[in-house]
A and B are shown apart, each in its own frame.
Chain A
Amino acid sequence: MTDALAETSLITGSQFCFRGNLLFLEPSGILYWPAERLLVVSDLHLEKGSSFAARQNLFMPPYDTQATLETLAPKIEMLQPETVISLGDSFHDRDASARLPDEYRQQLSRLMQGREWVWINGNHDPEPPRELGGIFCQSLQVGNLNFIHEPHKQFTQGEIAGHLHPCAKIRRRGKTVRKRCFVSDGERLIMPAFGAFTGGLNIRNEAYSELFEDEKLTVWMIGKDAVFEIDGKQCVR
């Protein structure tokens, strides 16, 4: 526990007490749970760029995997988590791992080394690539928190999910600011998408309406080097 507290001086971002657990919501879009030495990252969508070339001969810059891993690696190196959960849609499509250039495959292996790595299945990658190693599962329960890719429609306490790529928009002084965000009503938490080429879906979209109790909604909007905790009532469509 002392180790865990020492780390907290390293980590930026907002603290959030979620069902009795102290979590850090970090400006890169990862979540860190010091008590469990657990790092969570969602919707990496690796090789999204090359999927356009494979399917439509559209040549997106082939650097999104590199950019994504370059953002993730220093967080893992700094925090040295015992467990990393990749919360689904880690790969953009079924063939993404086959397209993964060797260099990035090796970089990924280095990150996985010496820790438990959990691949949660997502809708983009229902069968993640076994050859990379790690644990594969549909969902994972740690303490009173449950990690899953797609949030359940039925109310589930302590669920941490991804899938929706939440972003929030606020209006102040006649200007709007739209940013990726963490969003929670205290019962459920949805993580922002981490991948370099992932877009966002406004938390005011109907897709969220069955998932949250609107009155209690809080968002953590991701700025340049900080996370801003903002009352959901300030968020607009």
Chain B
Amino acid sequence: MTIDKSMNVLIVDDYKTMLRIIRNLLKQIDFHNVEEATDGAEALNKLRAGSFGLVISDWNMQPMTGLQLLQEVRVDSKLKSMPFIMITAESKAENVIAAKQAGVSNYIVKPFNAETLREKIEKVLGHA
């Protein structure tokens, strides 16, 4: 079974250069339907209004952090099972544990490469 690479992917980061990098890396691994949000509130609005198969979010954002976004997603009846990957420079064990307890699907530490991104997406979507 192969991954449906035509799915909509929402990438969330308050740093536009990073959004551009992730969008291009996703394109390199054949995910072309990518939408962007620059903060947690915008991401929630887009998720509630649209149809997405995956969220990839930064952690270090203001005013809503990626962790808070994840928590909001997990308590939303429509979004609670949404695959959610955190991509972050936060590499302390306490961060990973907090993200896991909040229901993160996978966790990628920056700097990362396209292969790690592909591998984690495949794992999250159940096609490892």
Please say whether chains A and B are actual partners in one complex: no
Residues of B within 8 A of A (CB): none
